[in-house]
Amino acid sequence: MATSVAGIIEPALQTAETARSAGRPTHDLTAYDLYLRAYALYLSSARQIPKVLRLLEQALARDPHYGLALAWAAVCCTRLLLDNQSGEPEADALKGADFARRALEVAGDDPGVLANVAYVLAYLGEDIGAMMALVDRALALNPSYARGWHISGALRLIAGQSDTAIEHNEAALRLSPRARVGASLLVIGAAHFHSRRFEEAATKLLLAIQEDPSYPHAHRYLAACYAHMGRLDEARCIVARLRTLTPVIVPSDLPYRNREYRELLLSGLRMAAGEETSTGDETSS
């Protein structure tokens, strides 16, 4: 009987130990330390994204198969594009996609890797339905994953589902009321904006700017919001602040699959910036 029981238990223990070992983020403590420093910096300010990416690339030089570092490096490449901090947009897009696909190869059942990869590939133009399914898988693995709910909401916004975007980001804020997991207030404000609830949008967008004054996209949304409300003087003040963060006022590469969403934001920005300004900036990236 003892031999029989041991014969059953030993393979199960071997499988569990193998899975546990494979699930470790990295065996390199220096790579892990670099990742932790990068993660803390990422959530502190949009201005830190280039430094965050450098730290993650140092971690990956030590452990090229470090899934979380790969996923966050992909997110950083995407943020460089979104924030107009990239000197080489095409190269950064390719690099971000490569990081994301490498992360997916080693992701296993890691919700953090799956959700971040879904965000990156959705922004870079992959099928939005497939990417929402990927983040849904992450949340099935960990229903209490606050950043997963934030990313799920962001993808719903990209897909044109504003009310679901709000619902999912409110869930993220409930799960993590103190520690930031992403720009949830911006997503909620943007979702209200695209539903033409401009008063509610402005309130959330002001809070998003207070949370991170260096994030250009929050300023873009608030400027467009004020413009659609007829508050053009305030819209122009926001554009003036935006110019201190980026030369690109009216972007050309918005990820929204809903054409009406893109046009509502762009038309508001054109009004806020003035026609002569929007003509030149819209071709920038």
Asked if residue 188 and residue 137 are part of one domain, the reply reads no
Phi and psi angles of residue 178, each rounded to the nearest 5 degrees, phi first:
-105, -50
Domain count along the chain: 2
Task: Please indicate, yes or no, whether residues 226 and 121 belong to a single structural domain of this protein.
Answer: no
Q: Which residues fall within 8 angstroms of residue 33, CB to CB, at 6 or more apart?
A: none
281 falls within a domain: yes
State the residue range of the domain holding 270: 184-285
263, two tokens: 């046009």
- Per-residue b or e along 62-90, where b marks 16 or more CB atoms closer than 10 Å to that residue's CB: bbeebbbbbbbbbbbbbbbbbbbbbeebe
Residues 195 and 276 in one domain: yes
Reference 115, options 74, 83, 162; nearest CA is 74
Residue bearing tokens 């909401």: 153
Query: Does residue 204 share a domain with residue 135?
Result: no
CATH number assigned to the domain comprising residue 57: 1.25.40.10
* 159 contacts: CB under 8 Å, gap ≥ 6: 128, 129, 132, 257, 258
- Look at 17 and 229; give whichever has higher pLDDT: 229
Phi and psi, residue 185, nearest 5°? -65, -35
Q: Is residue 65 part of a domain?
A: yes
The residues, ordered by sequence, that sit 6+ positions from 53 with a Cβ below 8 Å of its Cβ are 38, 73, 76, 77, 80
**63 by DSSP, 3-state: which?**
coil
Do 137 and 219 share a domain, yes or no? no
And the tokens for 22?
């494979």
Domain co-membership, 130 together with 36: yes
106, 47: one domain: yes
Between CA 54 and CA 59 the distance in angstroms is 9
**pLDDT score of 277 more than 70:** no
Query: CB within 8 A of 228, min separation 6: which ones?
Result: 196, 198, 264, 267, 268, 271
Whether 173 has a pLDDT exceeding 90, the answer reads yes
Instruction: Give 72-90 pLDDT, tens digit per residue.
Output: 999 999 999 988 888 899 9
Helix-, strand-, coil-residue percentages of the chain, each rounded to 5: 75, 0, 25
Model confidence at 181: pLDDT above 60: yes
The verdict on 55 and 133 lying in the same domain is: yes
Roughly what angle, to the nearest 10 degrees, separates helices 29-42 and 67-82?
30
161 within a domain of the structure (yes/no): no
- 24 band by pLDDT with thresholds 50, 70 and 90: low
126 and 211 share one domain? no
Q: Tell me if 270 is assigned to some domain.
A: yes
Residue 179 in domain: no
Token duo for residue 279: 């003509």
Do residues 285 and 253 lie in contact, with contact meaning Cβ atoms separated by under 8 Å? Answer: yes
The first and second tokens of residue 28, run together, are: 């390199």
- The length of the chain, given as a count of residues: 285
Residue 165 lies in a domain: no
User: Do 35 and 137 belong to one domain?
Assistant: yes
Q: Is residue 266 part of a domain?
A: yes
Q: Is residue 215 part of a domain?
A: yes
Global pTM reads 0.85
* Domain shared by 116 and 214, yes or no: no
Give 104-136 pLDDT, tens digit per residue: 999 999 999 999 999 999 999 999 999 999 999
Q: What is the pLDDT of residues 192-238, one digit of tens each?
A: 999 999 999 999 999 999 999 999 999 999 999 999 999 999 999 99
**Does residue 139 sit in the same domain as residue 190?**
no
The pLDDT mean for the chain works out to 88
